[in-house]
Amino acid sequence: MYRGIFVLFFVSLFVSIQCQVPIFGRCTNKYKPMKDFQKLKFMGKWYEAMRFYTIRDVVASCVAVTYDRFDDGRIYVNNEYTNRLTNRRETLTGKFKLTTGENRGVFNVHYDFIPSYIQPYIPGFVPGLVQRFDTLLSIVHTDYDNYAILWTCRNLNQYGHLENAWLLTREQEPSEEIMQSAYGALDKFGMRNLFIKSSQQNCEP
């Protein structure tokens, strides 16, 4: 019985390890979303400065995300990155929706379709299972003008889960002062040692 449980767990990790950091047990609320989150101040373009390592980092660079609010109130999320293998700029668009009220930093991003060549780059996506995909993200902390810390957790099954996190900045090449403030926030939440630097070199603005 126990052998079957471990086989199931490691098969799940083999399928999903390319997307996030695998950890035993189920998701917990160790990184709580910030209170009094102001979604309109969060809108606009952000650049990926740091993140948990994934296999995506081998082929992707110049990652940016833009949150756009339309006149009808809907919010769209545009994820952009440069594929190092093809040197092409690629974009994936999803729909943003707050899930726990207007004043808490938890939101869902829904993607109606995930092209096969993009699937490995989407946090929490398990290739081959579905084309539509939802991911739940928490804004752990942001000052809105300089940086933001996002975190997500997705249960594989009752034996394991996957985590991912990002440090986003408003500027593509933020100043040392801004990065030191961001590092201080990461240290406060005990996250800094888990991050690696993302590549924003030779990128379009």
Query: CB under 8 Å to 109, separation ≥6 — which residues?
Result: 77, 94, 95, 96, 97, 134, 135, 137
pLDDT(65) > 50 = yes
Total domains in the fold of the chain: 1
Whether 189 maps to a domain, the answer reads yes
Identify the domain containing residue 72 by its residue range. Answer: 2-197
Determine the 3-state secondary structure of 14 from DSSP.
helix
Whether 202 maps to a domain, the answer reads no
Among 182, 190, 21, 35, which Cα is nearest to 106's? Answer: 35
Average pLDDT rounded to a whole number, residues 182-194:
92
Q: Does 119 appear as a known binding residue?
A: yes
**In this structure, are strands 60-69 and 44-52 parallel, antiparallel, or unpaired?**
antiparallel
Whether 106 maps to a domain, the answer reads yes
What is the domain-level CATH number for residue 66?
Answer: 2.40.128.20
pLDDT(140) > 90 = yes
Residue 8: what pLDDT?
Answer: 31
pLDDT(5) > 60 = no
Average pLDDT rounded to a whole number, residues 32-50:
91
pLDDT(172) > 90 = yes
Whether 203 maps to a domain, the answer reads no
Whether 205 maps to a domain, the answer reads no
pLDDT(158) > 80 = no
Whether 163 maps to a domain, the answer reads yes
Average pLDDT rounded to a whole number, residues 50-62:
74
Of the segments 21-30, 43-52, 69-78, 147-156, which one has the largest average pLDDT value? 43-52
Whether 204 maps to a domain, the answer reads no
Whether 186 maps to a domain, the answer reads yes
Q: What is the DSSP string of 44-60?
A: EEEEEEEEE--GGGGTE
pTM listed for this prediction: 0.78
